[in-house]
Amino acid sequence: MTRRSVEDHAREVAALLEPALTPRTEAVAVTAALGRVLAADVWSPLDLPPFRNSQMDGFAVAAETVRTVPVTLPVSTTVAAGSAGPDRLEPGTAVRIMTGAPLPDGADAVVPVEDTSPGDGADAVTVHRGRVSGEFVRDRGDDVHAGDLLLAAGARLTARHLSMFAAVGMSELPVRRRPRVAVLTTGTELVAAGNPLRPGQIYESNGIALAASCESNSAEVVLLDRSPDDSDRFRELLRRATAAADVVLTSGGVSMGDFEVVREVLTPLGGWFGHVGMQPGGPQGLTVVDGVPVLSFPGNPVSTLVSFEVFARPLLRRAAGLAPVAADSVTLLGPLTSPAGRRQFLRGRLVDGGVRLESGPGSHLIAALARADVLIDVPEDVTTMEAGENVQVWPL
Ligand SMILES: Nc1nc2c(c(=O)[nH]1)N[C@H]1C(S)=C(S)[C@@H](COP(=O)(O)OP(=O)(O)OC[C@H]3O[C@@H](n4cnc5c(N)ncnc54)[C@H](O)[C@@H]3O)O[C@H]1N2
Ligand code: MOO
């Protein structure tokens, strides 16, 4: 088996995937934009609030008319939210006004209804507490002005962003097109959750692991399926995957066994299969099928996920317009050992003061990976580290 360093394999993967993952922009409805990455700076088309309005249910007045209280004012009309209301407040009068209704010119304060009582007659109000100019008045544009930057390109859209865009009346947004990924898992031993396990079988878990990893990095999973170790079945799945996706991820079937369906099908198509100097994730494959790059990860669950983090995540994030995940340098809280000549990605958990090992090196330790929140990146020439040393970690 040929061998490569992690850096060399990452370069080869990038050379094949980058053309397939050229960033593109598309317009989507604001109602469908949750989680998408904004592709361009967006400026406000209008002032928000778009007109001066009341912050309270009460009475719009000229503040000077309620400087001395109690005072009784005639009420000229009622303005509900959604109606235009009168253009002007007659001097010496009040307008009954609801929250969100436009304030007439000449009114510069709102007296909440609880600070008033009915005046003599139906069309009068007695104000018991004075208000100064501007109180309970929401000015036009006091949130944002037409032409202000609302949000810069690169932001991942959340509910509060979408609320803002809807509030300024936008119905569509420019977003990065999501890279389309197909995820194929392989293994005759695999059974979908919810079914009984027969002897020798295990539950399939790499499919959801890779699909969820893609989704959480803003890629779209267009196909998620599973093949037994059967070349014809895998070939058929691959055909569907390359027809639908920009990139195909496979898991399993790449190593040295008798039933390595991924390697057996892809090697004759010109695929590279070999060993990368890392653990977990040693056996790897890389092929182009019908113009679509196929990135083959080893089947051990931790190996699959670590391979995704190291080789696929940076490229998918770049295509999706997301900032790269940055490594951090933290204090190692206990000693560790690592095999010579392999870059080791150990599972760790950040705690007060540094990082502690969360798991042994075994690439079948799925629950331990779930407890971890970082990968501890041990360089290939390092075989031991002591508590107190600084180590590089990658957030999961
Ligand atoms: N003689 C050698 N044997 C192995 C080597 C080697 O260099 N020489 N490498 C080992 C390493 S390291 C890894 S990693 C695995 C990778 O093997 P494959 O990619 O061929 O993976 P499989 O054999 O298909 O599966 C490995 C393991 O993971 C389980 N698995 C597979 N797919 C799933 C899935 N979708 N969900 C849950 N679990 C899965 C599978 O049942 C196996 O236990 O090879 C070593 N062997
Ligand atoms: O490299 Mo394997 O991925 O150690 O378990």
37-72 pLDDT per residue, tens: 999 999 999 999 999 999 999 999 999 999 999 999
Please check the confidence at residue 31 and state whether its pLDDT lies above 80. Answer: yes
Q: How far is CA 28 from CA 103, 153, 207, 293, in A?
A: 36, 15, 28, 27
Where is 263: in which H helix or E strand? Answer: helix 261-266
Question: Scanning the structure block, which residue is given the tokens 């653990």?
Answer: 279
- What is the pLDDT, as a whole number, of residue 134? 97
Q: Whose atoms come closest to the Cα of 225: which ligand?
A: 1
The full DSSP string for 119-153 is -SSTTEEEE-S---TTTTEE-TTSSB-TT-EEE-T
Surface-to-core class of residue 215, CB atoms within 10 Å of its CB (0-12 exposed, 13-18 middle, 19+ buried) = middle
| Predicted local distance difference test score (pLDDT) of residue 372 | 97
| pLDDT band at 121; cut points 50, 70, 90 | confident
pLDDT in tens, 185-204: 999 999 999 999 999 999 99
**Could you tell me if 317 and 217 are in contact, meaning their C-beta atoms sit under 8 angstroms apart?**
yes
Q: Domain with 222 in it: what CATH number?
A: 3.40.980.10
Give this complex's ipTM: 0.97
The CATH number of the domain holding residue 373 is 2.40.340.10
Which two three-digit tokens encode residue 305?
């996920």
Cα of 160 to ligand 1 centre, how many Å?
43
Cα(189)–Cα(12) distance, rounded to whole angstroms?
A: 31
- How far away, in angstroms, is 389 Cα from ligand 1 center? 33
Answer whether 179's CB lies under 8 Å from 319's CB. Answer: yes
Taken in order 372, 377, 380, 382, the sign of the CA dihedral is: negative
pLDDT number for residue 68 = 96
Point out the ligand nearest to the CA of residue 207. 1
pLDDT bucket at 354, cuts 50 / 70 / 90? very high
187 lines ligand 1 (CB under 6 A): yes
* For range 79-108, the mean pLDDT: 96
Q: Is 259 helix (H, G, I), strand (E, B) or coil?
A: coil
Q: Are residues 263 and 247 in the same domain?
A: yes
Domain shared by 41 and 165, yes or no: yes
The answer to whether residues 121 and 66 belong to one domain is yes
217 shares its domain with 334 = no
Q: What is the mean pLDDT of the chain?
A: 96
**Does ligand 1 have an atom closer than 6 angstroms to the CB of 298?**
yes
Taking CA atoms only, the protein residue closest to ligand 1 atom 8 is 256
- 171 and 181 within one domain: no
Report, as an integer, the average pLDDT of 95-114. 98
- The tens digit of pLDDT for each residue in 213-233 reads 999 999 999 999 999 999 999
3-state secondary structure of 329: strand
Exposed / middle / buried, residue 123 (Cβ in 10 Å: 0-12, 13-18, 19+): middle
Closest residue by Cα to residue 342 from 389, 394, 392, 378: 378
Ligand 1, atom 9: closest residue by C-alpha: 255
pLDDT cut 70: percent of the chain above it: 100
Distance from Cα 239 to the centre of ligand 1, integer Å = 23
- Ligand 2 site, residue 303, Cβ cutoff 6 A: yes
Q: Facing residues of 79 across strands?
A: 97
What per-residue confidence (pLDDT) applies to 144?
98
With a CB cutoff of 8 Å and minimum separation 6, the contacts of 328 are 374, 392, 393, 394, 395
Domain that holds residue 35: 26-48+142-176
Percent of the chain topping pLDDT 90: 95
On the question of pLDDT at 392 being above 80, the answer is yes
Question: Domain check: are 40 and 64 in the same one?
Answer: no
Judge if 182 and 297 occupy the same domain: yes
pLDDT band for position 122 (cuts 50, 70, 90): confident
| Domain identity same for 6 and 134 | no
Domains identified in the chain, total number: 4
**For the residues of 26-66, what is the DSSP string, one character each?**
EEEEGGG-TTPBB-S-EE-SS-BSSS-EESSSEEEE-GGGG
Tell me the CA–centroid distance for residue 363 and ligand 2, in Å: 6
Query: Do 103 and 209 share a domain, yes or no?
Result: no
- 182 and 171 share one domain: no
Give the torsion sign (CA, 276, 279, 283, 285): negative
Tell me, using a 6 A CB cutoff, whether residue 202 lines ligand 1. yes
pLDDT of residue 257: 85
Whether residues 227 and 272 share a domain: the answer is: yes
Average pLDDT rounded to a whole number, residues 228-241: 97
Given pLDDT bands bounded at 50, 70 and 90, which one contains residue 284? Answer: very high
Number of C-beta neighbours around residue 76 at 10 A: 17
Mean pLDDT for the stretch of residues 148-156? 96
**Token representation of residue 261:** 């369906």
Interval between CA 223 and ligand 1 midpoint (Å): 22
Query: Are 134 and 151 members of one domain?
Result: no
What average pLDDT does the segment 148-176 reach? 97
- Number of the ligand closest to the Cα of 282: 2
CATH code of the domain in which 73 resides: 2.170.190.11
pLDDT-based confidence at 315, cuts 50/70/90? very high
With the most atoms of ligand 2 within 8 angstroms of its CB, the residue from 276, 303, 342, 359 to mutate is: 303
Domain boundary among 304, 320, 336: 320
Integer CA distances (angstroms), 44 to 47, 88, 141, 164, 165, in order = 7, 29, 11, 10, 8
Which of 130, 156, 176 is the C-terminal boundary of a domain? Answer: 176
Does the pLDDT at position 2 exceed 90? no
Distance from residue 206's CA to the centre of ligand 1 (Å): 11
How many whole angstroms separate alpha carbon 333 and alpha carbon 328? 15
SS3 string of 185-241?
EECCCEECCCCCCCCCCEECCHHHHHHHHHHHCCCEEEEEEEECCCHHHHHHHHHHH
Q: Measured in Å, how far apart are the chain's first and last C-alpha atoms?
A: 30
Q: What pLDDT was estimated at residue 256?
A: 85
Distance of CA 21 from the midpoint of ligand 2 (Å): 27
Give the Cα separation of 144 and 48 in Å (integer).
5
Q: Looking at the CA of 276, name the nearest ligand.
A: 2
